[in-house]
Copies of this chain bind each other. A is one copy, B any other.
Amino acid sequence: MQLPLKGIIPPMVTPLLENKELDLVGVNNLVVHLLQGGVHGIFILGTNGEGPSLSYALRKQLITEVCKIVDGAVPVLVGITDTSLEGTLEIAHHSKKAGADALVVAPPFYFPISDQEMNTYLEAVAHLLPLPFLLYNIPSCTKLHLGIDVVRRARDLGAIGVKDSSGDIASLNRIIEEFRNEHDFSIIAGNELFLADTMLRGADGAVAGGANFFPGLFVELYNACLRKDQESIVELHRKVQKIDETIYQVENSQTSSIKAIKCALSLMGICGDSMAQPLAKLNPEQRAQVKNHLEELNYGEYFFL
């Protein structure tokens, strides 16, 4: 893996069969779809990947499958966050064995902990990890909005980057300002709406949920940012925002985008829309709305590059 990590790294959803087993055909379709779309990496078992909802066995199976299909074409990142340290390490070691490139670590998320407790946790865990790791800030799920001190501590402990999905642009800006000149430390926007703004200031890329279905759109926006082509940036950002304002709003819940992404992929014939408990797939009426939005957006050209 070449450092720093850069570019569009979709947080891949986990295709599941109706019986909740891994959808092997769907996994293959989706990985191929992403690679053809030109993405620069694949992040599995994150929030969009419903990582914590899956059994260890299924998580390991997914890691193995994705690494096999990707076969070194781009880096594979694996979310290893778990409330049990043993569980975290079990997934970490399997990732190494399967050929993944990096691990993504968020705070253990059952207990409400503080930045200081997260630092202590990182100190205990970092040296046990068999692969490079990124720090993952996602307070909507973990309850802890990691402060800049935790990012610094992770950096000192060897982290190769940070993925910020806090939705707090000020916080992400502060990280950029502090680390933009450290070229082996990647700053990855976890919110696709922040991709353009933060790239222009020094971020390295984005973990964009929407890149699951329109990978090419995000890769184009990323390239426009690299070229500092302001006109294209504004136009492509607008297209990204349209996804957020339509497809992601079909259901009114905090996890609506995850469900909508699987629904869209299902409508595209890439994989099914089955979700792991406790999330449920969109109902038929919502599915029809996603279909309408997809047709109106008419972004077919952005399937692939």
Within 8 A of B (CB), among A102-150: 107-114, 117-118, 120-121, 124-125, 140-141, 143
- How far is A197 from B194 in the complex, measured between Cα atoms in Å? 10
A52 with B278: CB separation less than 8 A: no
Q: A53-B83, A86-B55 are in contact. Are A253 and B117 (CB under 8 A)?
A: yes
- Partner of A117 from the list B167, B245, B280 (CB cut-off 8 Å) is B280
Within 8 A of B (CB), among A83-114: 83-87, 107-114
The verdict on A22 contacting chain B, using a C-beta distance below 8 Å, is no
The verdict on A183 contacting chain B, using a C-beta distance below 8 Å, is no
The verdict on A68 contacting chain B, using a C-beta distance below 8 Å, is no
Number of copies: 4
The verdict on A292 contacting chain B, using a C-beta distance below 8 Å, is no
10 sample A-B contacts, Cβ–Cβ < 8 Å, listed by A number: A52-B84, A58-B86, A85-B277, A108-B277, A111-B141, A169-B193, A170-B244, A177-B238, A177-B245, A200-B233
A residues near B (Cβ < 8 Å) are 20, 47, 52-58, 83-87, 107-114, 117-118, 120-121, 124-125, 140-141, 143, 167, 169-170, 173-174, 177, 193-194, 197, 200-201, 228, 230, 233-234, 237-238, 241, 244-245, 253-255, 276-280
5 further A-B pairs in the complex, CB-CB below 8 A; given A55-B86, A112-B254: A52-B111, A53-B111, A58-B86, A120-B280, A177-B241
| List of 4 A-B pairs having minimum Cβ-Cβ separation, nearest first | A55-B86, A52-B83, A52-B110, A121-B278
